[in-house]
Amino acid sequence: MVVVAILAAGRGTRMKSHLPKVLHSLGGRSLVERVLESVKPLLPSRQIVIVGYQADEVKAAMQSIPSLEFVEQTVQLGTGHAIQQLLPHLEGYTGDLLVLNGDLPLVRAQTLKQLLQAHQENHNAATILTAHLPDPKGYGRVFCNGDNIVQQIVEDKDCTAAQRQNRRINAGVYCFGWQDLARVLPHLESNNAQKEYYLTDAVTQVGKVMAVDVEDYQEILGINDRLQLATAYEILQQRVKEKWMVAGVTLIDPTSITIDETVELNSDVIIEPQTHLRGNTVIQTGSRIGPGTLIENSQLGEKVTVQYSVVTDSIVQAGSRIGPYTHLRGHAQVGAGCRVGNFVELKNTKLGDRTNVAHLSYLGDTTTGNRVNIGAGTITANYDGANKHPTKIGDRTSTGSNTVLVAPVILGNDVYVAAGSTVTEDVPDDSLAIARERQVVKPGWVSKKRSEQNPQSKNSS
Ligand code: UD1
Ligand code: CA
């Protein structure tokens, strides 16, 4: 049985931010959410988050996560002081306590499992996660004897020059037998460089403490400032991209591409440079996305192409070609085999199959049938200043260039709309609608006008 405690009460001064550090976002999820995600597979019996700085904001941000408990550390006197706050909440508990810093977003569940296992198999009083860093600056240094038994943990600020040479660091992840820890917690002292009660001091007082090295030191990057936040994002992106490349996705110029972990791709998808895939996006096999494209919370079918476009909250079915310069948004749905683009915006609009909206158009709140052709510059006037109104367009209907469809309006099947029409009334099936002034030509009108303006010089240029 294990109870998890996450340290999330600090302000994170080095972030230079009004936002509490643990709420800073890393690839769409806060640091503390990521930590909680990593402990999930351990099936903890309780998850306690220790909050303090802007406690209400931190709690509110985690409202939707089930069965979290919050314990408040009203003044932040250090990580040891934070864990002292658990004493009244864990009275009589005899199992293990897994403690994690809240600023440790990349740690893998597998690593935590190994730590817990080592702790239990070796009957340690405490077991801590350590790493050998090329640049250990800022971290607490861990000193062990030959058998990985911890002798001392010294914070960077408290290190002598010689101690600072040690590159084995404390990752900020600890397993304790709670009873062993509870015994020493009340006796911590703050006679150190930061005048804080260090959890690391408790570690060396509980009894037999073992250090377990993490396999991949990138996992234990602690986020203290914006530089480390950016580094963490790079590591995260690398993990995601490697996963998809191994699964058969081509990334052209991977460093210029970003992919959220929540995105799903299929084999033989090709992602071109400067393309960003976010949220709950799913892309089926054979699709080619980019260059220069943003896809967010959208589903793209097989063999879809999208170039230089923005697609959010939308669906595109198989074989459709989107872009260049298309904006699909507000639950747009594009059928199979369509062509949309060259400066086209679709909002809350559903296109049937094999329908084209090929140039310079805006369709909002519109439904079209199959094999429709929307002429260049067709615009739906769907908003009267107060309400949005729908437009319906039947199968095989064509609108001429520069058509305005004033909603609510219905065009039937097999309708033609003459170029330049402003359509305000429904058009029945199989009809031609012309809704514009007939052209008038007045021969000789120009020379007559000029001579009236300037009577002396006839036909002057
Ligand atoms: C801590 C460790 C250090 C380790 C490093 C790993 C201590 C004394 N030092 O240093 O050995 O190498 O993490 O990243 O623990 N917090 C509270 N209440 C407080 C103070 C901090 O909840 O009063 C929380 C913070 O919100 C943060 C975590 O504890 O999530 C760690 O605090 P931080 O100040 O970042 O510790 P480090 O100096 O990085
Ligand atoms: Ca830290």
Q: Which residues are catalytic?
A: 359
Report which residue type is found at 84. Answer: Q
Best residue among 62, 75, 101, 142 to mutate for probing ligand 1, ranked by most atoms within 8 Å of CB: 101
* Distance between Cα 105 and ligand 2 center (Å): 11
What's the pLDDT at 456?
76
* Distance between Cα 138 and ligand 2 center (Å): 8
Q: Which two tokens stand for residue 297?
A: 């919370």
Q: What is the DSSP letter of 201?
A: H
Distances (CA, A) of 434 to 105, 366, 438: 62, 21, 9
Nearest atom within ligand 1 for CA of residue 222 = 14
Nearest atom within ligand 1 for CA of residue 104 = 14
What's the pLDDT at 455?
83
pTM of the model: 0.85
Nearest atom within ligand 1 for CA of residue 199 = 15
Ligand closest to 128 (CA) is: 1
- Can you list the positions of beta strands (E) in 43-201? 46-51, 68-72, 96-101, 126-132, 141-144, 150-154, 168-177
What's the pLDDT at 146?
87
Ligand closest to 48 (CA) is: 1
| Ligand 1 neighbours (beta carbon < 6 A) | 7-10, 21-22, 50, 52, 73, 76-79, 81-82, 101-103, 139-140, 153, 155, 169-172, 198-200, 222, 224
- The residue ranges of the chain whose pLDDT is under 50 are 460
Nearest atom within ligand 1 for CA of residue 103 = 30
Residues having C-beta closer than 5 Å to ion ligand 2: 103, 222, 224
d(CA 157, CA 196): 12
What's the pLDDT at 193?
94
